[in-house]
Amino acid sequence: MVSKRNSKKEEKTFKIKWIFESLGITKQTYFQGINRDKIRELEREKVINLVIKYRKTLPKTGTLKLYEYLQPKLMEINIKMGRDALNNLLRSRGMLIRKTKRFHITTDSNHFFINPLTY
């Protein structure tokens, strides 16, 4: 018969300490990384909210103009983000502006045409 105290130990097949040792990191490093990721995600959310707010007035604004507009505001709230990082963030959220076609199709190549050379 297994006592209640030992039942939790038997459910775990391995110790967390062994995972850290196998990865070559310490527990402190692992949890610092998790906290760092949480902080970065909060910063990204702030940036996305600023982008959404700016694009309400100018919806087709690209990354470069957004970066120039947001840079002073990011400095105020102590977020370091370069142009490429902003571009990657917008790409990952599907917020990049799609290019429009700059030419018009003037010829219908699928029209009915009988080639006189084949007859």
pLDDT in tens, the chain (119 residues): 555 666 555 666 677 788 888 888 888 988 899 999 999 999 999 999 999 999 999 999 999 999 999 999 999 999 999 999 999 999 999 999 988 888 887 777 777 766 766 65
Backbone angles phi, psi at 72, to 5 degrees: -65, -35
Q: What's the pLDDT score for residue 23?
A: 86
Q: What's the pLDDT score for residue 32?
A: 94
Q: What's the pLDDT score for residue 12?
A: 64
Q: What is the spatial distance between Cα 67 and Cα 80, in angstroms, rounded to a whole number?
A: 12
Q: What's the pLDDT score for residue 107?
A: 76
Q: What's the pLDDT score for residue 30?
A: 86
User: Of 54, 96, 88, 95, nearest to 71 (Cα)?
Assistant: 54
